[in-house]
Chains A and B, each alone.
Chain A
Amino acid sequence: MNNEKSADSSVKETLCVACDRNISTVFDRFEAMQPECGFGQLGVCCRNCVMGPCRIGPFGEGAKEGICGANADTIAARNLVRMIAGGAAAHSDHGRDVAHTLLATSEGKTEGYAIKGKEKLFDLAKELNIKTENRKIEEIAHDVAEKCFAEFGQQYGELQFTKRAPKKRQEIWRKNKLTPRGIDREVVEIMHRTHIGVDNDYENLIQQGMRASLSDGWGGSMIATDLQDILFGSPTPVRSVSNLGVLKEDEVNIIVHGHEPTLSDVIVTASQDKELLELAKSYGAKGINLAGICCTANEILMRRGIPIAGNFLQQELAIITGAVEVFITDVQCVMPSLGKIAGCFHTKVVSTSPKAKFPGVEHIEFSEEEALPIAKKIVRLAIENYKNRKKELVNIPKEKMELIAGFTSEYVFKMLGGKYRATYRPLNDAIISGRLRGAVGIVGCNNPKVKHDWAHIELTKELIKNDVLVVTTGCSAIASAKAGLLLPEAAKKYAGKGLQEICEAVGCPPVLHMGSCVDISRILTTLCNVITEGGLGEDISDLPVAAAAPEWMSEKAVSIGFYAVVSGIYTVLGLPLPVMGGKNLTEYLTNDIENTVGGKFAFEPDPLKAAKLIIEHLNKKRELLKLKPMMYTK
């Protein structure tokens, strides 16, 4: 029964424990929700005003238009761009928080942060035209933070980081009125346009959706990534471990889940405090064991090597191991069921963000001004809770897998060229010469509609088998980590000959973990660097690259999918966008849109078929660039 639910055997084990104790998890709630409403799935249910709610029957029976007169394309488009608004808002608001933290830190108002990424600070200052000579670090950081902050409230002009894109790409955006003017403005305009009786033209609605997605990818997310690098240091390759087996029977276990390293990074510092370690030992624990779930896990993994306990669908299971003293949450992808589940164990779930409270959960509000003391307080809470752990309820699965993470757009320079000749040349040459077919970013969430982790792993394996370099972020990266794909050894096992040679030469895995979901902006920056290096066309849409989100579920994923497409990248989704009830809209998104932005969507649930689509696409781009034929795999 449980076999079908996940490709990860730790999940099956823990679900058995849950079943025995009558604890319902996301998997049970998913079954109980079937069948799901077809109107919702098709995107043709509209609740934007109280003349409705309206539904448009897809079989030609019943209502053919909403009460206001909107047809299926309009309704589906309105719903879709509101999803982009939700997703972009989440990413951008995260970026805003980081900018605030950097600003406050530069003014000496915070406790627990430092400006670790000095090189990146200088790079960014240069890019933003901020004077760096003879200035204190704090002053430079202050100005950088302020300029980034300003992007949020900007009303006119162009977001700064869009200028990283190749000139041709910028022109495409300008020509089609897609260049984002201000981060908050684009989201607000979506809300306005989707109000009843405003924008009823699906193409026009999508245009605003695309613009808003760019305000995320080349705006909020990029700000988040870069300012996080400045505060917490740019990641470099790091070894660590993943899966529920990282929890320890004889240590105080703390899990941090959510998205903002402004919280999790300080928790890392607090968990390594000597006094607190002593306190833990006095309670009989051998130490304090911190592990992460979802994107915040990726953040502290990339920079500080902290182990990952699991991805999205495993968050409840981590508690069900019975071995977690405190489960800290901030924002995004946190299931409201955690409080109830923790109630069956000694585990304390602690929420920290004023924006994210949950029923039945203790709230210890986090602030940057008192970051370290609050973090220490939470760690102390965990230590005090250690004695309440019930041995008979502890079931830590043995699954644990090593990984290497920490790849960034900056590191690729060093990795390929060495310290003294940092360059992208080898990467471009590998693609040009046919050793590498191209590169694909596999990203995104888990979804119980797809066997957990299975589609991520199958797609990844199939692509690297065909000499495609895979970069990965988010829950997808965690899936690959648990399957052992983030190790150099995986090249020998699964990769095609060309990719194997690269991995051997460089010493890297065939799948490169580039961070959290906001770090998809790293992928964008990397692509810009590839173009700049030369020989592979002039625009991102010329490159033999693609993106895939095989198990996506969130609105953030919709925003990401859009900014990928609008940046000229062919994007394959494992579940369709909820638009199939709007036939013209669906056709537009999977076909015509390519004529405008050079990228489009494809919906394919079978990972092997998806791989085929991607490989065909990469081959097509190679042909157009007149690149050499593939060296090894056809």
Chain B
Amino acid sequence: MKKVYCDVSKCLGCRSCEIACAVEHSKSKTLFLAIKEEPLPINRRKVQAVDEIIISNACHHCEEAPCISACMSGAMYKAPDGSTQHDEEKCVGCWMCIMVCPFAAISRQTKLALKCDLCKDRTEGPVCVISCPTKSLVIKEVQK
């Protein structure tokens, strides 16, 4: 499985990844239209900091994903490639996944949980990686 890693020594907190993520998960997929949508698209990747460290944080697609065990509707599941995916149709917004995610990587919309899906519908791959100006975000094969 390939997933997105953040090199904290290179993250400058510009939040380009947040904007790119939100636009990619909007209906229109362009910035100027996305900002007018209702509901506004939500970025699944969040830039956070402590002291001197800045990190761009999103779903880590854990090998032992607590959200999958906690999900009471079966909406959270492991895709064949090993990534943790979320079936929005099945989600009832119970927030059990949020209750157990150790990275607080799941966001809430009204009655719908949202998280990084590795831009699975995008052939060129995750849009946050492409948008990062310092190449702090990279897509790499998971080490076994």
Contact = CB atoms under 8 A, between A and B. Distances in A.
Chain A partners chain B: yes
Interface of A: 34-39, 55, 57-59, 61-63
B15 A37 contact: yes
Contacts of A35: 13, 47-49, 54
B13 A37 contact: yes
A59 B7 CA distance: 12
Contacts of B49: 34-35
B100 interface: no
Contacts of B14: 37-39, 55
Given A55-B133, A57-B133, A61-B134, A36 B13 contact: yes
Q: Does more than half of chain B's interface fall in helix, strand or loop, or is it mixed? A: loop
Contact of A57 (B13, B15, B54, B134): B134
B90 interface: no
B122 to A, nearest CB: 21
B12 A37 contact: yes
B108 interface: no
Interface of B: 10, 12-15, 47-49, 54, 133-135
Given A59-B134, A63-B133, 9 more contacts: A34-B49, A35-B48, A38-B14, A39-B133, A55-B14, A57-B134, A61-B134, A61-B135, A62-B134
B13 A59 contact: no
A457 B48 CA distance: 32
Contacts of B54: 35, 38
Nearest to B55: A35
A245 B133 CA distance: 50
Nearest to A37: B14
A362 B10 CA distance: 47
16 contacts: A35-B48, A35-B49, A35-B54, A37-B14, A38-B13, A38-B54, A39-B12, A55-B14, A57-B134, A57-B135, A58-B134, A59-B135, A61-B10, A61-B133, A62-B133, A62-B134
Nearest to B52: A35
A238 B10 CA distance: 54
A38 B135 contact: no
Contacts of B135: 57, 59, 61-62
Contacts of B134: 57-59, 61-62
A58 B11 CA distance: 11
A57 B134 CA distance: 6
A39 B10 CA distance: 12
A61 B134 CA distance: 5
* In the A-B complex, the 6 residue pairs with the closest CB atoms: A38-B12, A35-B49, A35-B13, A61-B135, A37-B14, A35-B54
Q: Which of B47, B54, B134 has the most CB of A within 10 A?
A: B134
B16 to A, nearest CB: 9
A546 B134 CA distance: 39
A37 B47 CA distance: 10
A37 B135 CA distance: 15
A29 to B, nearest CB: 16
Q: Which of B12, B13, B54, B135 has the most CB of A within 10 A?
A: B12
A400 B54 CA distance: 40
Contacts of A34: 49
Contacts of A37: 12-15
Contacts of A57: 133-135
A36 B134 CA distance: 15
A33 to B, nearest CB: 10
B46 to A, nearest CB: 11
Contacts of B10: 59, 61
A39 B134 CA distance: 10
A446 to B, nearest CB: 22
A34 B15 CA distance: 11
A526 to B, nearest CB: 41
A58 B133 contact: no
Contacts of A55: 14, 133
A109 B134 CA distance: 61
Contacts of B48: 35
Nearest to B15: A37
B129 to A, nearest CB: 13
Q: Which of B13, B15, B54 has the most CB of A within 10 A?
A: B13
A304 B13 CA distance: 48
A35 B134 CA distance: 16
B17 to A, nearest CB: 12
Contacts of A39: 12, 14, 133
A59 B135 CA distance: 9
A39 B133 CA distance: 10
Nearest to A55: B133
Nearest to B135: A61
A571 B79 CA distance: 60
A58 B136 CA distance: 12
Contacts of A58: 12, 134
Nearest to A36: B13
Nearest to A63: B133
A45 to B, nearest CB: 8
Nearest to B47: A35
A543 B39 CA distance: 64
Nearest to A42: B12
A252 to B, nearest CB: 45
A54 to B, nearest CB: 10
A38 B14 CA distance: 6
A63 B48 CA distance: 24
Nearest to B10: A59
A58 B13 CA distance: 13
A57 B137 CA distance: 14
Nearest to A54: B133
Contacts of B47: 35
Q: Which of A38, A58, A63 has the most CB of B within 10 A?
A: A38
A15 B108 CA distance: 30
A365 B12 CA distance: 44
B23 to A, nearest CB: 16
A36 B54 CA distance: 10
Nearest to B13: A35
A40 to B, nearest CB: 8
Contacts of B12: 37-39, 58
Q: Which of A35, A36, A57 has the most CB of B within 10 A?
A: A35
Contacts of B15: 37
Contacts of A38: 12-14, 54
A621 B10 CA distance: 42
A57 B13 CA distance: 12
A46 to B, nearest CB: 13
A130 B49 CA distance: 61
A57 B7 CA distance: 15
Nearest to A44: B12
A58 B48 CA distance: 20
A159 B23 CA distance: 53
A61 B12 CA distance: 12
